[in-house]
């Protein structure tokens, strides 16, 4: 699944290109992906923001389109209306280009929101927002919940998925099954720093492409070459075999030492 870094990479590529362009036509290729086209057609895009794993396309006439890429979604820019494999939606822009949404597993979704708070009220702290402070994160680190479960809960901190949860916990030198209440103040501070560091480094490398993620012109990201533990066999620090186990119904990678 595209996580915060991949969605932020798309946002940075799309925002300057889409700003000021009008949505001429929306064609839905898959009825299960449908939404009221009249909410978008004829409207002008004034900017592209990101909240967690969502892209928000602001409209001059009010409201925004909120897009979630699901597990395998891609947003591609094309100069011609050339059908793509697994294409679910085609947005024709006033410049003549097309913004295509392709999704192999059909888990992506799009909705028209009258106000951004319809989404933001359901999500937790965004690690790249001004609200992401040590004080605010420390207030969330309470109870017996496991660290891995906490990091994947979008109501607490939004944008982190399975890949970056493993990388963050390795960077912070914390076991994914540690209960939140067991963390010392120093460990909480390490986790706070590791979350932002790992995500920002992944953005600089244009995201992680394991299988599906592509940038807007079809290029792969590069952070997959810099992963420390996810999908790896041995710890890069001590050489110990990496342990892979199911936590929160997802594969989790960690060094047992």
Helix (H, G, I), strand (E, B) or coil at 31: helix
In contact, 74 and 10? CB cutoff 8 Å: no
* Helix (H) or strand (E) run with residue 65 in it: strand 64-68
Q: For the chain, how many residues are written?
A: 257
Q: Which residues contact 256 (CB under 8 A, 6 or more apart)?
A: 240, 243
Long-range CB contacts for residues 83-87, cutoff 8 Å, separation at least 24: 87/29
Annotated catalytic residue 138? no
Please tell me what DSSP assigns to residue 242: P
Q: Phi and psi dihedrals of 252, rounded to 5?
A: -120, 135
In contact, 114 and 42? CB cutoff 8 Å: no
Annotated catalytic residue 179? no
Considering the candidates 109, 190, 244, 250, report the single residue annotated as catalytic. 250
In contact, 204 and 219? CB cutoff 8 Å: no
CA-CA-CA-CA torsion sign (180, 236, 10, 15):
positive
Per DSSP, the residues of 71-95 read TTEEEEEESS----TTEEEEEEETT
Considering the candidates 2, 5, 127, 176, report the single residue annotated as catalytic. 2
Considering the candidates 43, 50, 53, 215, report the single residue annotated as catalytic. 53
Annotated catalytic residue 145? no
Annotated catalytic residue 250? yes
CA gap 175, 172 in Å, rounded: 9
* Helix (H) or strand (E) run with residue 146 in it: none
In contact, 69 and 33? CB cutoff 8 Å: no
Active site (catalytic) residues:
2-3, 53, 250
């Amino acid at each position: 699944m595209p996580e915060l870094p991949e969605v932020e990479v798309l946002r940075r590529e799309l925002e300057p290109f889409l700003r000021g362009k009008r949505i001429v036509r929306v064609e839905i290729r898959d009825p299960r992906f449908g939404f009221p086209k009249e909410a978008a057609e004829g409207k002008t895009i004034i900017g592209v923001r990101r909240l967690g794993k969502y892209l928000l396309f602001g409209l001059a006439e009010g409201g925004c389109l909120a897009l979630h890429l699901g597990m395998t979604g891609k947003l591609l820019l094309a100069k011609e209306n050339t059908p793509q494999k697994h294409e679910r939606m085609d947005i024709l822009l006033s410049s003549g280009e097309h913004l295509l949404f392709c999704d192999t597993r059909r888990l992506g979704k799009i909705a028209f929101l009258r106000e951004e708070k319809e989404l933001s009220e359901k999500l937790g702290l965004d690690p790249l927002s001004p609200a992401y402070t040590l004080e605010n994160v420390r207030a969330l680190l309470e109870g017996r919940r496991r660290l891995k479960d906490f990091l994947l809960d979008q109501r607490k901190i939004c944008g982190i998925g399975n890949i970056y949860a493993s990388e963050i916990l390795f960077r912070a030198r914390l076991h994914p099954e540690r209960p939140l209440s067991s963390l010392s103040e120093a460990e909480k501070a390490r986790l706070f720093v590791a979350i932002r560091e790992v995500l920002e480094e992944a953005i600089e490398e244009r995201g992680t492409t394991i299988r599906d993620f592509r940038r807007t012109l079809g290029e792969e990201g590069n952070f997959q070459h810099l992963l420390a533990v996810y999908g790896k066999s041995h710890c890069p620090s001590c050489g110990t075999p990496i342990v892979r186990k199911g936590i929160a119904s997802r594969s989790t990678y960690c060094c047992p030492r």
